[in-house]
Amino acid sequence: MPDKLGQFLGQKHINLETYRKNGQAVQTPVWFAISDDVIYVVTREATGKVKRLKNNLQVRVVPCSFSGHPTGQWVSASAELASPEESQKAIALRKKKYGLLASFAGIVTSAKGKLVVYKITIQ
């Protein structure tokens, strides 16, 4: 596992920095799972971060508190849509990591479309 990925082990949240078309950074605290040296983020298709990722797959990530306060070092990464197989694995990993909270979040956010999974690879 790359050294830069080690700071994310055992953490509950990461701050995912995506970019608007004008280059302005937007930081969003999100849940995540790690497998095979990749960070997986499960979200809904109608969220702002998905819109921003469609325009720019370059991101930065850092472990953070629930409110988004960084607790580690920012690292540059690239994002891409996960394959259907990777998506199933990532959703299962998220459910295992967050338990009933993941199920509850799924119900609360269901109006924002179907689930999409991005894999984040640290550069």
Output 100 or 19, whichever has higher pLDDT.
Answer: 19
Amino acid code (one letter) for 43? T
63: number of Cβ within 10 Å:
20
Residue spans of alpha helices (H) in the chain: 3-6, 48-55, 84-98, 100-109
Indicate the pLDDT class of residue 106, thresholds 50, 70 and 90: low
Indicate the pLDDT class of residue 1, thresholds 50, 70 and 90: very low
Q: C-alpha 99: how far from its chain's center?
A: 17
* pLDDT per residue as tens digits for the range 38-49: 999 999 999 999
Q: 43 — phi, psi (to 5°)? A: -145, -170
Position 30 scores a pLDDT of 96
Structural domain total, the chain: 1
Domain span including residue 108: 3-122
* Domain containing residue 114: CATH number: 2.30.110.10
CA-to-CA separations, 119 to 28, 83, 107, 108, 109, in angstroms, rounded? 16, 9, 23, 23, 20
* Residue 51, pLDDT above cutoff 80: yes
